[in-house]
Amino acid sequence: MVEFDDAFRRQLRELFVWRRDVRRFRTDPLPDGAVERLIDTACLSPSVGLSQPWRFVIVDDASRRRAVIDDFKACNADALACYSGERAARYAALKLSGLEQAPGHLAVFADKASDIGHGLGRATMPETTEYSVVGAITAMWLAARADGIGLGWVSILNPQRIHDVLDVPASWKFIAYLCIGYPEAECDQPELERAKWEHRRDASEFTLRR
Ligand SMILES: Cc1cc2c(cc1C)N(C[C@H](O)[C@H](O)[C@H](O)COP(=O)(O)O)c1[nH]c(=O)[nH]c(=O)c1N2
Please give the ipTM for the structure prediction.
0.99
Q: Which atom of ligand 1 is nearest to the CA of 97?
A: 26
pLDDT score for 210: 97
Nearest CA to ligand 1 atom 14: 21
56 CB contacts (<8 Å, ≥6 apart)?
Answer: 39, 42, 106, 107, 108, 109
Pocket test for ligand 1, best of 17, 20, 21, 188 (most atoms within 8 A of CB): 21
Asked if residue 96 has its Cβ within 6 Å of ligand 1, the reply is yes
Q: Is 178 exposed, middle or buried (0-12, 13-18, 19+ CB in 10 A)?
A: buried
Positions of the chain with pLDDT under 70? none
pLDDT score for 167: 98
Q: Are strands 104-111 and 54-58 parallel, antiparallel or unpaired?
A: antiparallel
pLDDT score for 140: 98
Q: Which atom of ligand 1 is nearest to the CA of 23?
A: 26
Pocket test for ligand 1, best of 95, 137, 155, 186 (most atoms within 8 A of CB): 155
pLDDT score for 186: 96
Nearest CA to ligand 1 atom 25: 96
Asked if residue 144 has its Cβ within 6 Å of ligand 1, the reply is no
Asked if residue 155 has its Cβ within 6 Å of ligand 1, the reply is yes
81 CA → ligand 1 middle, Å: 20
Asked if residue 91 has its Cβ within 6 Å of ligand 1, the reply is no
pLDDT score for 143: 98
- Which candidate, 134, 103, 91, places its Cα nearest to that of 32? 103
Cα separation of 157 and 67, whole Å? 11
pLDDT score for 207: 97
